[in-house]
Structure 1
Amino acid sequence: MNLGSRKDAAKVAVVGAGPGGLAAAMLLAAEGYDVEVYEKQAVVGGRSGQLELGKYRFDRGATFLMMPHLLEELFTSAGRSLEDYITLKELDPLYSLHFGDTVFTPSTDQDRTAAEIEKLFPGNGNGYRRFMDDEAAKFDRVMPLLQRPFQSVGDYVKKDVLRALPKLHATDTVYNRLSKYFNDERLRYAFTFQAKYLGMSPWECPGTFTILSYLEHRYGLYHPIGGVNQIFQAMAKVISEHGGVVHTSCGVKRVLVHNGHTTGLLLENGEKVEADYVIIGADFGSVMTQLFEPDVLKRYTPEKVDRKRYSCSTAMLYLGVDGAVDLAHHSVHFAEDYRLNVDEITRLGTLSADASMYIHNPSVIDPTLAPPGKSSIYMLMPVPNLKADIDWDQVGPSVQEEMLERLQHTAGIDNLTQRIEESLFFSPLDWRDQLNVYNGATFNLAHNLGQMMYLRPHNTFQEVKGIWLVGGGTHPGSGLPTIFESAKISARLLTEHDRAARSRMIAAGITWKGATL
């Protein structure tokens, strides 16, 4: 549907220029809606935006793109071609996984990966092939569930859901599922650490999410030249090309509500923005606890929001380093006792003496992120969220020192401290205080069984009419591919609602002036 004249189109205000907010805004602007996006930060992308330290540039959050065809479809739906805005480079191998002296470098070439598995973990090559075959069948059933809303209990008895249920393994765990294919503990970790993308333990994460490692091995991982943040800058450009506006350094103070229906936004600068509809793409917990007047919400009161389960957090270290660094684009160094490390993060709420580390070295394939001959290094250590009794003001410096030590010695970077030209340490407190991430939970609401599909906050907001949710805090969940799907779902639901409202008004003989019911 194209609405024709923009002066007759409904006004849509979008809270937050994160991946979900921008994707929904792009789709709606392409449909002819009068779209304006309001972002508190100076740059777009939310927790996946660009960070600049001197002449070095970094992805603040997400560092690779999975399933790029979903993003291509998104741009096509907005009347654009992704390749006109973004250059993608496929990663081969996918990443470098370090278990002490053993290094596993899988790729999308299944024959090559199976051969490497047999060499490093004898007797597991056939298990890998069985896993890939079984997950292919599972993915065919699961993917449709990620592309549709779950807004009533009745959605569970629809044909596509009933067809998928036996394949979901939702009551099992990711670790248990992988144990059916691999007998080497290290290999199990190599196919379960992806639960980190959801901020969860593979010993607790529903078995549905074994598809994450399958998707990496089946579809590959891609690096956008300039960083993942370039995707969101491209989306902002497309929104502008369609007549929409993206306001940065322009925070929202309140979502305005009258008689149970949103009427727009109150900005932090005091300006009131009238809108027929609102898309909320900002962090779920922070929005529910900060952007509505007291007593407006019943289902999502501050107390109820606080009782929900949240993902872990991350301690981040961004470094501008003089000289080249001999590391893969992505590498993961597993703790010697990985189970204990994960339990300390997700159950015990303590910092690990032996922590796992993720290192991103994009300069090895992308010269745009650092000055010539230099490197932009990103290091991530999963840590408990702010529910844990950890004083980050006190322990932050020692955690930063530990990360530097691990990077220099475990990863083998010579003379690292002497080569550092720029440095920034980012703790769970910074995620909360600078980027409004509730509890510092980097990956949003947890993906336990009680917070999936119908039990996750709905795409059509249940509390106030005229509001739709996008992003990691709604269905289908966190991670860029699913966030993009949430944007498609919510944009479609808004459009369907708007079309029906317009038809009712026309049938009643009411002149359409952009107001909706």
Structure 2
Amino acid sequence: MVTTAIVIGSGFGGLALAIRLQSAGVETTIVEARDKPGGRAYFWEKDGHVFDAGPTVITDPACLKALWELSGQDMAQNVDLVPVDPFYALDWPDGVRFDYTNDDERLLASIHALNPADVEGYKRFLDYSAGVFHEGYEKLGTKAFLSITDMLKAAPALAKYQAWRSVYSIVSKFVEEEHLRQALSFHTLLVGGNPMTCSSIYALIHKLERDGGVWFAKGGTNRLVAGMVALFERLGGTLRLNDPVQYIKTEGNRVTAVETRSGWCQAADMIASNGDVVATYGLIDHPRGKKRQKAMAKKRFSPSLFVFHFGLEGTAPEVPHHMILFGPRYKGLLGDIYNKGNLANDPSLYLHHPTKTDPSMAPDGCSTFYALAPVPHLGKAKVNWLEEGPKYEEVILDTLEERLIPDIRSRIRTRFSYAPSDFQTDLFAHLGSAFSLEPVLTQSAWFRTHNRDDVLSNMYFVGAGTHPGAGIPGVVGSAEATARLMLE
């Protein structure tokens, strides 16, 4: 008899899980609430521009290629990945510019220019990063933590690398110069973590990028999503769009079926959710659902994002593909976002410029951008984004005008933004959080949502809210861990 599974949500985690299940002969259906697959990796086409919602930094392409290799196929058949260099151009208001690249000679020369003494310190930090990469990512990144015993087995390695310390404090142990400290610690923001409190294990991101590179999918992240969907459907999987799940039905301590808004109802041997963990537990018609939803809602959630998308007349060859525009404050700004819930008027920005690498993402002679500012989630700052959004666009434009593109306002041909309230409405994200649970030590591994529920024996989770966390490598790793449990 054929085993059947339903995966709720078609983000990277849900797609990777569904591909693994379908490759193993499990008849799998993905049920997606939105009109397009991808979850957070949604996209829009406006006035000839292609705008990716995110994520736009692709690392560890090997974890993606492995999904095709499960069925003896080649990812290049569906997706054209191209390297990005520098990985990021980092820019500060005091005029300091630092190209974070994979070229050792250039990188060490840039470090030397800021502080000669930090060259040796950086090399020691890279060794540290390699160690936590091996322990935290290679050994544990695709392992499910279902019991406290699993956590205790990992404890010696976590202790060796002082996992209780923050990424920023570990970086500061190795390098003295403040720009470099920011350059080597900001990465945690890309997975929702505060560099000042996020466990030092997340310093592994540096080694992950150095080893695997930073990549871009020609046509945008949406083409990577489309490639994964094409693979899943080629394997015989079914994708159901535009039909949100409203109930997860149960019998005893097992989930049995899902019912959607349209009235479609399908039974399955196993159900997995790539949706928001708080929202998912709210769908389960079992006392366990409400109990877990209540407990999960009390946890610490990552901040949200304000993403300003715009298309410009003319090209901008001087602007790199990925750029970080640090604001005048680092620690203070992080405090506003994570603790105080203040909407800062001096934000740090991640600027994405895909037409630097792929001009086809804009009409001829035009360019496509987005500027992303981390902002407090709706539980920290009860902002009316319908009112504040247009004002915050102007704050971002002021920064870009002053520091990068002086005539930006006169060149804008199309613009729109995506706010925390949109994360909440479109993605059912608890408090509009963009990355689910905040990655602090007390919410990592066993302390995160388990890949299989402790009571409902055939209810599974995948994605940013489970181990190991957010980011493409994280959620693809969670899919491997969850698939292993489901196939057992």
Question: TM-score, length-normalised on structure 1?
Answer: 0.91
Pairwise CA distance, 1:466: 1.2
SS at the partner of 2:370? strand
* 1:141 matches 2:135: yes
Pairwise CA distance, 1:465: 2.2
SS at the partner of 1:328? coil
For residues 409 and 258 of structure 2, the distance between their equivalents in structure 1, rounded to whole angstroms, comes to 47
Pairwise CA distance, 1:21: 0.7
Pairwise CA distance, 1:70: 1.3
- The aligned residue for residue 128 of structure 1 is 122
- The aligned residue for residue 430 of structure 1 is 422
Given candidates 443, 446, 465, the residue that maps to 2:438 is 446
* 1:480 matches 2:472: yes
Gap runs ≥5 in structure 1: 1-7, 497-517
| 1:191-340 matched pairs, under 5 angstroms | 191-289=184-282, 291-293=283-285, 295-297=287-289, 299-301=291-293, 303-325=294-316, 326-340=318-332
Percentage identity across aligned positions? 30
* 1:91 matches 2:84: yes
* 1:382 matches 2:377: no
- The aligned residue for residue 73 of structure 1 is 66
* 1:349 matches 2:344: no
For residues 438 and 472 of structure 1, the distance between their equivalents in structure 2, rounded to whole angstroms, comes to 12
Give, as a single letter, the amino acid of the residue that structure 1 aligns with 2:331: R
Aligned partners of 1:335 and 1:356 also within 8 Å: yes
Aligned partners of 1:48 and 1:229 also within 8 Å: yes
For residues 386 and 78 of structure 1, the distance between their equivalents in structure 2, rounded to whole angstroms, comes to 43
Q: How big is each residue's C-alpha offset from its partner over 1:247-293, in whole Å with a ceiling of 9 and x where there is no partner?
A: 1112111111111211110011011111111111112122223x223
**76-85 or 247-256: bigger deviation:** 76-85
* 1:363 matches 2:355: yes
Pairwise CA distance, 1:199: 1.6
Give, as a single letter, the amino acid of the residue that structure 1 aligns with 2:169: N
For residues 392 and 333 of structure 1, the distance between their equivalents in structure 2, rounded to whole angstroms, comes to 23
- The aligned residue for residue 38 of structure 1 is 31
Aligned partners of 1:298 and 1:463 also within 8 Å: no
For residues 222 and 410 of structure 2, the distance between their equivalents in structure 1, rounded to whole angstroms, comes to 29
Aligned partners of 1:350 and 1:390 also within 8 Å: no
Pairwise CA distance, 1:432: 0.7
Pairwise CA distance, 1:75: 2.0
Aligned partners of 1:319 and 1:377 also within 8 Å: yes
For residues 219 and 131 of structure 1, the distance between their equivalents in structure 2, rounded to whole angstroms, comes to 18
Aligned partners of 2:129 and 2:206 also within 8 Å: no
Pairwise CA distance, 1:39: 0.5
Q: How big is each residue's C-alpha offset from its partner over 1:29-55, in whole Å with a ceiling of 9 and x where there is no partner?
A: 111111111111111110112222232
Q: How big is each residue's C-alpha offset from its partner over 1:66-115, in whole Å with a ceiling of 9 and x where there is no partner?
A: 11111112221243211111111111111100012010002112232111
Q: Which has the larger radius of gyration?
A: 1
Give, as a single letter, the amino acid of the residue that structure 2 aligns with 1:254: Y
Aligned partners of 1:359 and 1:377 also within 8 Å: yes
With over 3 angstroms needed to count, the CA separation of the structure-2 counterparts of 1:355 and 1:212, relative to structure 1, is same
Given candidates 151, 161, 164, the residue that maps to 1:171 is 164
SS at the partner of 2:113? helix
For residues 478 and 105 of structure 1, the distance between their equivalents in structure 2, rounded to whole angstroms, comes to 25
For residues 200 and 431 of structure 1, the distance between their equivalents in structure 2, rounded to whole angstroms, comes to 18
Aligned partners of 1:297 and 1:463 also within 8 Å: no
Aligned partners of 2:78 and 2:230 also within 8 Å: no
Pairwise CA distance, 1:134: 2.5
SS at the partner of 1:417? helix
- The aligned residue for residue 54 of structure 2 is 61
* 1:151 matches 2:146: yes
SS at the partner of 1:105? strand
Given candidates 386, 402, 405, the residue that maps to 1:409 is 402
Pairwise CA distance, 1:304: 1.8
Pairwise CA distance, 1:152: 0.6
Q: Number of residues paired by the alignment? A: 484
* 1:373 matches 2:365: yes
Task: Give the RMSD, CA atoms, in angstroms.
Answer: 1.5
Pairwise CA distance, 1:139: 1.8
- The aligned residue for residue 107 of structure 1 is 101
Aligned partners of 2:151 and 2:445 also within 8 Å: no
Question: TM-score, length-normalised on structure 2?
Answer: 0.96
For residues 191 and 37 of structure 1, the distance between their equivalents in structure 2, rounded to whole angstroms, comes to 38
- The aligned residue for residue 503 of structure 1 is none
For residues 286 and 403 of structure 2, the distance between their equivalents in structure 1, rounded to whole angstroms, comes to 50
Q: How big is each residue's C-alpha offset from its partner over 1:179-220, in whole Å with a ceiling of 9 and x where there is no partner?
A: 011101111000111110222221111111111123223322
SS at the partner of 1:146? coil
Pairwise CA distance, 1:353: 2.4
Pairwise CA distance, 1:122: 3.0
Given candidates 373, 396, 411, the residue that maps to 1:419 is 411
- The aligned residue for residue 501 of structure 1 is none
Pairwise CA distance, 1:162: 5.1
